[in-house]
């Protein structure tokens, strides 16, 4: 069984995940309504298992369920960072949908 520390190390050493994190950080600066984005779910599971993720699940704190402007700020962040567009982002607004709390434990 992998420990939390081993999983965190694997995530820190995964270049694609680090790229996605940089994109989310810049996107949240571009759009102030895109608060505290976190990558969750199957994307992280697949990295741990050593398989290519099919999409990237992101929880964030916003103000409406179908919040506008999120995809656009992601695309702008990708452009500014010089990364190719990743078409398979999946977003869930934790304030509109609810969140179980500790995202590390939830994923």
Tell me, what's the pLDDT at 88? 94
**Average pLDDT, rounded, for the chain:** 87
Torsion, Cα 79 29 57 51, to 10 degrees, reads 60
Q: Average pLDDT in the 46-62 region? A: 92
Give the DSSP per-residue string, the chain.
---HHHHHHHHHT-HHHHHHHHHHHHHHHH-TTSEEEEEETHHHHHHHHT---S-EEEEEE-SSTT-TTHHHHHHHHHHHHTPPP---EEEEEHHHH---S-HHHH-
The per-residue pLDDT for 56 is: 95
Question: 99 pLDDT exceeds 60?
Answer: no
Q: What is the model's pLDDT at position 2?
A: 82
Q: How far apart are CA 21 and CA 36, in angstroms?
A: 11
pLDDT of residue 74 exceeding 90, the answer is yes
Residue 82 tokens, joined = 């010089």
pLDDT at 103 over 50: no
């Amino acid at each position: 069984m992998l420990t939390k520390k081993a999983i965190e190390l694997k995530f820190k050493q995964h270049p694609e995940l680090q790229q996605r994190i940089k994109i989310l950080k810049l996107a949240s600066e571009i759009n102030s309504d895109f608060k505290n984005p976190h990558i969750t779910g199957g994307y992280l599971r697949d990295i741990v298992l050593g398989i290519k993720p099919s999409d990237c699940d992101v929880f964030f704190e916003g103000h409406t369920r179908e919040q506008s402007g999120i995809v656009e700020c992601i695309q702008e962040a990708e452009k500014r960072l010089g990364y190719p567009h990743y078409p398979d982002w999946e977003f869930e607004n934790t304030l509109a949908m609810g969140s179980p709390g500790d995202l590390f434990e939830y994923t």
